[in-house]
Amino acid sequence: MLLALENVGHRYGRDGDWLFRGLTIDFHPGEVYALTGPSGSGKSTLLSLLARRSRPREGAVRFTDIEKVSWVFQNPFGSPHRTALDHVALPILARGEKPASAEDEADELMSRFGLQSVAQRRFGDLSGGEAQRLMLARGLASRPSVLLIDEPTAQLDRRTAERVDSAIRAVADPRTIVIVATHDERTRAACTKQLDLGSPEGPDYP
């Protein structure tokens, strides 16, 4: 499995300024990549290219054995009256698992993200940090090839953000390429690799 950027550049319109150019990087499963850069550097645009929602102006995005791409947005969303556990179990049921197996796997994911104590709580009663961690668990429940996470701590207070950052470490999975767009240095530090769109010398890939 491989997701690769080959000399990718993008801008809006024929005469618009380039958001980025020359992006060349291979993304591998098991890693958590921080996609960083200031506002306007093209983080959300690049996520859209990786989600196959649009095509780059130049270069190519290569998908090798990529079957499913999931996206965790800034604002957690769910059914307010369903339990937290239901939100994680439903994608597993959609994969064809039996109810008992789906609940067992959902329990394991809830534990992985420190959500055991809220498993039976309604989504509408969760805190912002709990809801965001639940979205990470639900994102993995569908077993995507690629999991895109957009600014997971942007609207959280520092203490709550720290809990989400801990969950970012837990999202690493040998079956999944994880890419996290963030402006938060602590979130970046929770990732295993970085793609910086804001480097003055051009995109940086440590």
Same domain for 127 and 158, yes or no, is: no
131 and 151 fall within a common domain: no
Q: In the structure encoding, which two tokens stand for residue 167, read together? A: 């969950």
- Same domain, yes or no, for 149 and 63? yes
Q: Are residues 53 and 154 in the same domain?
A: yes
Domain of residue 127, residue span = 80-143
Token digits of residue 192: 């295993």
If asked whether residues 58 and 90 sit together in one domain, one would say no
pLDDT band at 192 (very low <50, low <70, confident <90, very high): very high
Shared domain check, 52 and 151: yes
On whether both 153 and 167 belong to a single domain, the answer is yes
Residues 6+ apart with CB under 8 A from 34: 180, 182, 187, 188, 191, 193, 194, 195
**Do 206 and 110 fall into the same domain?**
no
How much is the pTM?
Answer: 0.92
State which of 143, 174, 193 marks the end of a domain: 143
Q: How confident is the model at residue 205 (pLDDT cuts 50, 70, 90)?
A: low
Residue 175 — pLDDT band, cuts 50, 70, 90?
A: very high
Average model confidence (pLDDT) for the chain?
A: 92
- 139 and 149 fall within a common domain: no
Same domain, 103 and 13: no
What strand order describes the sheet that includes 32-36? 69-72, 146-150, 177-181, 32-36, 193-196
DSSP 18: P
User: Is there a single domain that holds both residue 150 and residue 200?
Assistant: yes
Tell which of 94, 123, 143 closes a domain.
143
90 and 180 both lie in a single domain: no
pLDDT of residue 91: 96
